[in-house]
Amino acid sequence: MRSRIGLPAAIAFFMLALTACTTISKQEVQLLGSSIAPASVDFIELNAYAERSKAAYANEAAIRSRYPATVRVSSPDKTDAQYFLERDDKAKVQYIAIRGTANRKNVLEDVEMRIRVDLAIAIPVHIGFDNTARLLYEDMKPYLKPGYKTYVTGHSLGGAIAVLIAIYLTEDGYDVAKIVTFGQPKFTTTKGVEKLGYLNLTRVVDQNDIIPMLPPTTIVNRLHGIYEHIGPEVILLEGPHYVFLPTHDAERISEGELGRSIGRADLADHHIDNYLRRISNKVTRATPVSYDDREQYVSKKKVRRSSAAGAV
């Protein structure tokens, strides 16, 4: 497994993201981040989503063994992405889990920043994510059930694709009940965020994960604005500690561009196993802290590398 992205272009983008200037002053950040936002974060539920996101890295036999209600496991032609679809016909629910960054090609796709307008959903989108999401969506359509409550999850690149697929599903009349992503990079810009307030999306990020910073806000598209995230954010810290940022604060406080050092950034923090470890520490006892106090609860120890599936 690669412990760091050994790609000059990727390193350059990380540096941009870590040193970018934001449209919000340090004083405003301190004011926004000084209090603890009231929220009920269900870490048992988040753990279930994270387990599905990890399972999406496995082979078909392993997925079906863990999730017997799976009706489709596929990695469509022309893409290295993989998803699986579970369906409970008695409860009328379906779950979609999408694999994240699995190889060098996907890492480059995470970093690439070109934008186009997806005419079907009328928002600016990251070209690579949109292309992959469309391929997966067309592949899964014959197995989806209209009228079922639909839940979507994914890690890394799979998180960005998960949100796009949720948008396609909503546009086609499906009942998308919830989307949960882990270490998700940005997939749209200011103009897109303005139109996507209807999404029930929760983004989970590790405090030291560098992938959610990408593409960096130093990159401004003349027509569509800067890349932005959508929805509330749960920032995972060590032990039982976490930060919750409601949507209006999460949009203004970029989780990747304030208070981090390039020396601490490591792709081990992006690993899905790291997310599962951090979440499991909060299942029996979770303690919210303010954004301003978060650095007190960040371990300086490197996470042990794992050779399990879902390497980055």
> Residue 59 burial (CB < 10 Å; 0-12/13-18/19+)?
exposed
Tokens 């048992």 correspond to: 44
Report if residue 99 sits inside a domain: yes
- 182 CB contacts (<8 Å, ≥6 apart)? 49, 50, 53, 100, 153, 154, 155, 156, 159, 204, 205, 272, 275
CATH code, domain with 151 = 3.40.50.1820
Look up residue 174 and give its amino acid: Y
CA 58 – CA 206 distance, rounded (Å): 22
Element (H, E) at 282: none
Say what the pLDDT of residue 14 is. 47
**Tally of domains within the chain:** 1
CA 63 – CA 274 distance, rounded (Å): 20
3-state SS, residue 91: coil
Report if residue 187 sits inside a domain: yes
Report if residue 220 sits inside a domain: yes
Q: What is the DSSP letter of 146?
A: T
The CA–CA distances, whole Å, from 280 to 124, 146, 159, 176 equal 36, 33, 20, 26
Q: Which domain holds residue 288?
A: 8-297
CA 186 – CA 156 distance, rounded (Å): 10
| Exposure b/e, 250-263, CB count within 10 A at least 16 = b | bbbbbbbbebbeee
CA 162 – CA 179 distance, rounded (Å): 7
Report if residue 1 sits inside a domain: no
The CA–CA distances, whole Å, from 207 to 2, 264, 295 equal 20, 10, 9
Say what the pLDDT of residue 112 is. 56
Say what the pLDDT of residue 8 is. 40
Handedness of CA 280, 216, 110, 312 (dihedral sign): negative
CA 312 – CA 157 distance, rounded (Å): 10
Order of strands across the sheet that contains 115-118 = 115-118, 123-126, 188-189, 225-228, 220-221
CA 202 – CA 234 distance, rounded (Å): 7
CA 232 – CA 18 distance, rounded (Å): 21
Report if residue 311 sits inside a domain: no
Say what the pLDDT of residue 190 is. 77
Say what the pLDDT of residue 204 is. 96
Per-position pLDDT tens, the chain of length 312: 333 334 344 444 444 444 444 444 555 544 454 455 556 899 999 999 999 999 999 999 999 999 999 999 999 987 778 999 999 999 999 999 999 866 545 554 555 556 666 656 666 777 778 888 999 999 999 999 999 999 999 999 999 999 999 999 999 999 999 999 999 988 887 777 888 888 999 999 998 888 887 776 655 566 667 778 888 999 999 999 999 988 755 555 554 444 444 455 567 888 999 999 999 999 999 999 988 888 788 765 544 443 344 544
> Residue 91 burial (CB < 10 Å; 0-12/13-18/19+)?
exposed
CB 98, CB 119: distance < 8 Å:
no
Report if residue 207 sits inside a domain: yes
